Amino acid sequence: MLSLQSVMVIRDGRKILGPVTWEVHSDEHWVILGPNGGGKSTMMAVAAMTTHPTEGRVRLLGHELGRTDVRALRSRVGLASAGLVDQLRPQLTAVDVVLCGLYGALEPWWHRYGDEDRRRAQSLLADLGLAGYGQRTFGTLSSGERQRVLLARTLMNEPSLVILDEPNAGLDMGGRESLIQALDSLAEIGPASVLVTHHVEDIPSSTTHLLALADSRAVATGPVERTLTEELLSDVFGLDVVLTRQDGRYAARACNR
């Protein structure tokens, strides 16, 4: 689904990512974990082919960056971030927000949609626990409900890969837990996915793999149950960490040793 080979991004003479080598397969659900400024969002921009690397090769859905029409490929990737909330007009209905995802648009009047498109948008809302919310305006929804609407939006064009860049940013506990449940539902019905976060508490139980970034480089990658350890978290975040797991969910706290 996605392959980064020795990818580096350098801006104004400063390395902000790399080198990173990483692959995502169709049956995998990844979490990208690391501190602020560690290169997570830059790596997702490269993965979604919205940013070109300074060095290295990027292949998305079997096509190599620089040798393909990236516009066609981008339509096959569902991309969402917390910042998208501020770009959408609050008066839009939830179903229109989802509907616009078919073309990556911000307004429904930019394109034409048929009855089948609207039925699909309603069905996606229902799949993520928002049945009956279609005519609610986006601005009246809770923060967690808005993020679930955006998650449904990423699925509107039947993507082969979903990339979620810190969708839990700014959510309270209720909103975070609601979104995590939606992500678990997505893993059952949807495509391969990549979730970016800097909190282990945000990792859904359906996650299969983890990549840890620190100081702009990948420091660990592999199956989450084997890769996520106290030692890794201590190295990545620069403090002693105690890691616990219950019912498939992780929690971490700093400790004095």
- 106-146 pLDDT, tens per residue? 888 888 899 999 999 999 999 888 899 999 999 999 888 88
Phi, psi for 35 (deg, rounded to 5): -75, 170
pLDDT at residue 257, rounded to an integer: 60
Q: What is the DSSP letter of 239?
A: S
Task: Give me Rg for the CA atoms of the chain.
Answer: 18
CATH for the stretch 1-76+161-257:
3.40.50.300
Query: Does the pLDDT value for residue 226 go beyond 70?
Result: yes
pLDDT higher than threshold 90 for residue 147: no
Domain with CATH 3.40.50.300 in the chain: 1-76+161-257
Q: What is the mean pLDDT of residues 57-74?
A: 81
The residue with greater pLDDT, 174 or 25, is: 25
**CA–CA distance, 245 with 201 (Å, rounded to integer):** 10
pLDDT cut 70: percent of the chain above it: 99
Asked if residue 69 has pLDDT above 80, the reply is: no
Query: What whole-number distance in Å separates Cα of residue 108 and Cα of residue 66?
Result: 31
63 vs 10 pLDDT, higher one: 10
Q: How many helices (H) and strands (E) does the chain have?
A: 8, 12
Residue 48 confidence (pLDDT) above 70 = yes
- Sheet of 55-60, strand order: 14-24, 2-11, 55-60, 63-64
If phi over 0 gives left and psi between -120 and 50 gives alpha, with beta otherwise, what is residue 100?
Answer: alpha
Interatomic CA distance for residues 257 and 251, integer angstroms:
18
CA-to-CA dists, residue 246 to 201, 240, 249, angstroms: 11, 20, 5
Sheet of 77-81, strands arranged across? 77-81, 161-165, 192-197, 29-33, 209-214, 217-223
How far is it, in rounded angstroms, from Cα 33 to Cα 146?
23
* Most confident range, picked from 65-69, 82-86, 242-246: 242-246
Torsion, CA 35, CA 38, CA 42, CA 44, rounded to 10: -50
Tokens found for residue 127:
């799949």
What pLDDT was estimated at residue 58?
92
